Amino acid sequence: MPRSPEDYLRDILHAARTIIARTRGLTEDQFFANPVLVESVLYNLIAIGEASNHLPPGVRARRPDVEWDVIIAMRNRIVHGYWDVNPTVIWETVHINIPQLEAQIETLLIDLEEDRN
């Protein structure tokens, strides 16, 4: 059975919330001192990028404030250029962009679900 845009948005939301929960209250040094945590965050960033890539253009167009291309490019960088991922970019993404993305995806998901009803 094919997945709906709402399914992909829920995947993004789950991954964002996982990142937020696992990194809450940590300093940058604490974060990077825990390689298992860093790998978990990278996995969830990959999931966010992959799910974003599967969203139809019409769904992405409803939130032009979300930098979809940047999200997908980050996923590609982690997957295909894993040896050269910039830790500062990961840290900034975790603490600045992911909380913003969570809010943006929540509202987009609500809008889509309301349209279906």
Q: Where are the domains of the chain?
A: 5-110
From residue 59, give the alpha-carbon distance in Å to each of 55, 65, 69, 93. Answer: 6, 12, 14, 23
pLDDT, tens digit, 9 for 90 and up, residues 48-76: 999 999 999 999 999 999 999 999 999 99
CA distance 49 to 89: 15
Average pLDDT over the chain reads: 96
Of 75, 77, 95, 116, catalytic: 75
Active site residue 116: no
CA distance 14 to 16: 6
Active site residue 62: no
pLDDT, tens digit, 9 for 90 and up, residues 98-116: 999 999 999 999 999 888 8
Of 63, 80, 95, 116, catalytic: 80
Confidence of residue 117 (pLDDT cuts 50, 70, 90): confident
Confidence of residue 46 (pLDDT cuts 50, 70, 90): very high
